[in-house]
Amino acid sequence: MKLILSIVILGGAVVVFLFFARPELDKISLLRAEEGEISQSLAELQELARLRDALLSQYNAVNPLDIERLDKIVPSKIDSGLLIAELESFAQQYNIVLESISITDEQQQRTQQQQRGTIVREVAEQPFEKLPLTLSIVGTYSSFRNFLTRLEMNTRVIDIAEIRFNAGDEDFYEFQIDANTYWIGAM
């Protein structure tokens, strides 16, 4: 009788373990696995926070005047009004008439260049966006050279891609400049 009672109790314990305790143990092992994943994610987030703090301290260590100069070299947004005013100021400084400024998008410029027969080279992805512009200028050759020198010395990056000209009256010429300036696009 004692033996049967012991077997029944032992069997009951096995049944309780298999039906009640085992699922709970499985839940505990799943929670431990989740805890490991969460701990790993937390460690990665802490590493990213340390990296962010290091970059932020490096950024804050840069002189604000240098950041302002960098924003003038390659601005963070397109400010075509400021660009036009700057070009007009340069033209007036050298007694040149700035007849027109045309700002186009990069795809329009590529199409225009292909229509003129200019070879267009594909460029790898860049961290900045190109802003093509065309200037129509009337003035003397020496004034035009001075204007180009001023553009070269300008803080803002302006690349001259093409210059076309027609002879006008006496010492006056009509110049057309295709140029590119840049701005920091969406990163």
Alpha helical stretches, state H, the chain: 2-16, 22-61, 64-73, 80-93, 106-116, 141-153
Q: Confirm if 165 and 175 have CB atoms less than 8 A apart.
A: yes
Alpha carbon distance 9, 15 (integer Å): 10
CATH number at 75-183: 3.30.70.60
Rounded CA-CA distance 135/103 in Å is: 9
User: How far is the C-alpha of 101 from the C-alpha of 82, rounded, in Å?
Assistant: 13
Domain regions of the chain by residue span: 2-61, 75-183
Q: Is the pTM of this model over 0.85?
A: no
pLDDT digits (tens, 9 = 90+) for 55-103: 999 988 888 888 788 777 777 777 778 888 889 999 999 999 999 888 8
